[in-house]
Amino acid sequence: MQQEDHYDLITVIKQLQESAKETVEERIKAEALFTSIGDGAMVTDEKGRVTKVNKTALELLGFSRKELMGKWFPGAVVALNSEGEPIEAMERPLTLVFLSGKTVSQKARYVKKDGGQLPVYITVSPIVLEDKPIGAIEVFRDISREDEIDRLKSEFISTASHQLRTPLSAINTYANMLSGGFQGELTKGQEKYLNIIIKASARMNELISTLLDISRIEAGKISHNPEKIDILALINGIITEQKRMAEIKKIKITVQHKKNLPVVISDPLLLGEIYSNLISNAIKYTPKKGRVDIELKVSQNELIFSVKDTGYGIPAALHNRIFTKFFRAENAARHETTGTGLGLYLAWQIAEVLGGRLWFKSRENVGSTFYFALPIEADST
C-alpha cells in the first residue's frame, strides 16, 4: 500500500511539474506577443496604474519605461480632444471601460514627453476574471498619416467647391433666363430639357453647399449662434418644405409631442439642418404609401427627436458605416439614385457641435428610426 502511495505521489509531482512548465511557456508566449504588437500597447491594474507597456508605446510617446510603470495612466499621459482641450479623466476610454465593462474606442491626441502631439486611435478592453474587471489593456495606433490625408482631402473638396460655385451660378442664371423667355418662346422639347438642366443645377448647388458646410465643420470654423427656439415651429416649417415630396409618394407624416415642450436654446440653422436631413431621408427612402412618424419627448434633461419610417431599412452589416462620408447602403441606392451619402455625415458632425447625440435603429425591409438628443439648457432670462 505504501508503495502504491509512493507511486501516486510521484505521478502527482510529475503532473504538477508539467503543468508549471506549460504555464511558464504560455506566459513567455503571451509576453512575446505583447512585446511584438506593432501598435502602442499597455496594461493597467483595476485602478488604472500601468503594469506593463510595450516598446512601441514608449517610442511613440517618448517616455521611458520607468516614467510610466506604476503610474496612473490618465495622469501620466495627457489626452486632448479635436479642439485641443484636455479630455477629462472620466471621459477617457480607460475609465469608461471600468464603468461599462465593455470595449471602448476613441480618437484623441496624446501629449508626448517633448510636448508634441500624437494623433491616435485608441481601443481599450477590460481584463475580466470571474466576472470582475481586474485591469485593462489599451492599444493605440498612430494615425498621423491618416489625419494628414484627411486634411488634404478636405482642403481639396473645399477649394474645388468654391471654384465650382462661379460656373454653376452662370449655368443656373442663364438657364433660368432661357426658361423665362428672354431669348424667345421655347418649344416643348426645349423646355423639357431646360427643366432637367435647372433641376440638375439645383442639386449640384445643394451638394456644393453641403461640402462647404462639412469643410467648415471639419476645420472648426462653423459658427454656433444659440438662441431660444420654438421647436414645433422649426419642425413644422421643415415638414412644409418636404411636403411636396411626401405628397408625390403618398407618404403620411405624423407629429407627436406633449403640450408643454421646454424652451430650447441652440442654433436654429444648425439644428434645422439635422432635423431636415433626418426627415428628408425618411421620406426619400420610404416606398410609396408608407409612413413617417415624428416624435418629440423629454428624457433626463434632453429633448429627444425621433423620426420613424417604413422604408427600405439598413442591412445590419452596414450599421457601423452609416454616419461615414459618402456612404450609401446598396439596398437604398437601388431605389433612390440621387443621394450623395453626405446628409447623415453632416448631421453627425453638427450634432457634435451642438453637444447632442445621434443614433438609430434599423431593420432591412422593415424601416429605420433615427434619434437626436439635444441637451436642454436652463432659460436664464
- Nearest-CA neighbor of 122 among 79, 93, 158? 93
Q: Are 138 and 41 in contact (CB under 8 A)?
A: yes
Tens digits of residue pLDDT in 264-290: 899 888 898 899 999 999 999 999 999
- Nearest-CA neighbor of 138 among 96, 84, 90? 96
Residue 20's pLDDT is what? 54
Q: What is the pTM of this model?
A: 0.57
CATH code of the region 37-142: 3.30.450.20
Q: Are 39 and 139 in contact (CB under 8 A)?
A: yes
CA 29 vs CA 17, 19, 24, 33: distances in Å: 18, 15, 9, 6
Tens digits of residue pLDDT in 67-78: 999 999 999 999
Q: The cell 465643420 sits on which residue?
A: 217
Instruction: Name which of 84-88, 107-111, 177-181, 327-331 the model is least confident about.
Output: 327-331
Instruction: Sort 226 into a burial class: Cβ within 10 Å, 0-12 / 13-18 / 19+.
Output: middle
| Helix/strand/coil for 60 | helix
Residue 249's pLDDT is what? 92
Q: What single-letter DSSP state applies at residue 72?
A: B
Mean pLDDT, residues 131-152: 85
**Residues β-bridged to residue 127:** 135
For residue 254, is pLDDT > 90? yes
CATH topology of domain 227-375: Heat Shock Protein 90 (3.30.565)
| Helix/strand/coil for 361 | strand
Residue 241's CB: how many other CB atoms inside 10 A? 13
Whether the CA torsion 154, 160, 164, 165 is positive or negative: it is positive
Distance in angstroms (rounded) separating the CA atoms of residues 156 and 145: 17
Distance in angstroms (rounded) separating the CA atoms of residues 79 and 87: 6
**Residues β-bridged to residue 141:** 121
Mean pLDDT, residues 369-381: 76
Residue 380's pLDDT is what? 37
Q: The cell 431621408 sits on which residue?
A: 281
Sequence-separated (6 or more) residues with CB below 8 Å from residue 148: none
Burial state string for 184-216 with b = 16 or more CB within 10 A and e = fewer than 16: eeeeeeeeeeeeebbeebeeebeebebbebbbe
Orientation angle between helical segments 343-353 and 188-218, nearest 10 degrees: 40
Residue 1's pLDDT is what? 46
- Nearest-CA neighbor of 355 among 236, 235, 270? 270
In a 13 Å sphere around the CA of 289, the CA atoms on its Cβ side amount to 0
- Nearest-CA neighbor of 35 among 54, 58, 57, 59? 54
Q: The cell 423620426 sits on which residue?
A: 307
Tens digits of residue pLDDT in 303-337: 999 999 999 999 988 888 898 877 888 777 776 65
Give percent of the chain above pLDDT 70: 87
| Helix/strand/coil for 306 | strand
Q: How many residues does the chain have?
A: 381
Mean pLDDT, residues 163-179: 85
Mean pLDDT over the full length of the chain: 84
